[in-house]
Amino acid sequence: MTSTSPLLTPPVAVIVGASSGIGAALAHRLAADGYRLALLARREDALQAVAERVAAAGNAGRPRVFPHDVTDYDAIPGLFQRILAAMGRVDVVVYAAGVLHPVAADEYDFAKDRPMLETNLLGAVAWLGQAAAYFQTQGEGHIVGISSVAGDRGRVKNPAYQAGKAGLTNYLESLRNRLSRHGVHVLTVKPGFVDTPMLQAAGGGAFWVISPEQAAADIAQAIRKRKQVIYTPARWRWVMLAIQHTPSFLFRRLSV
* pLDDT score at 9: 84
* pLDDT score at 32: 95
* pLDDT score at 58: 81
* pLDDT score at 207: 77
Domain ranges of the chain: 12-251
* pLDDT score at 251: 82
* pLDDT score at 60: 73
* pLDDT score at 5: 45
* pLDDT score at 6: 44
Q: Is 161 a known active-site residue?
A: yes
Identify the active-site residue in 35, 73, 108, 161.
Answer: 161
Domain 12-251: CATH superfamily is: NAD(P)-binding Rossmann-like Domain (3.40.50.720)
* pLDDT score at 202: 65
Share of the chain above pLDDT 70, in %: 94
Instruction: For the chain, give the secondary structure using H, E and C.
Output: CCCCCCCCCCCEEEEECCCCHHHHHHHHHHHHCCCEEEEEECCHHHHHHHHHHHHHHCCCCCCEEEECCCCCHHHHHHHHHHHHHHHCCCCEEEECCCCCCCCCCCCCCHHHHHHHHHHHHHHHHHHHHHHHHHHHHHCCEEEEEECCHHHCCCCCCCHHHHHHHHHHHHHHHHHHHHHHHHCEEEEEEEECCECCHHHHHHCCCCCCCECHHHHHHHHHHHHHHCCCEEEECCCHHHHHHHHHCCCHHHHCCCCC
What parts of the chain have a pLDDT lower than 70? 1-7, 201-205, 255-256
Which tens digits make up the pLDDT trace of 23-81? 999 999 999 999 999 999 999 999 999 999 999 998 778 999 999 999 999 999 999 99
* pLDDT score at 3: 43
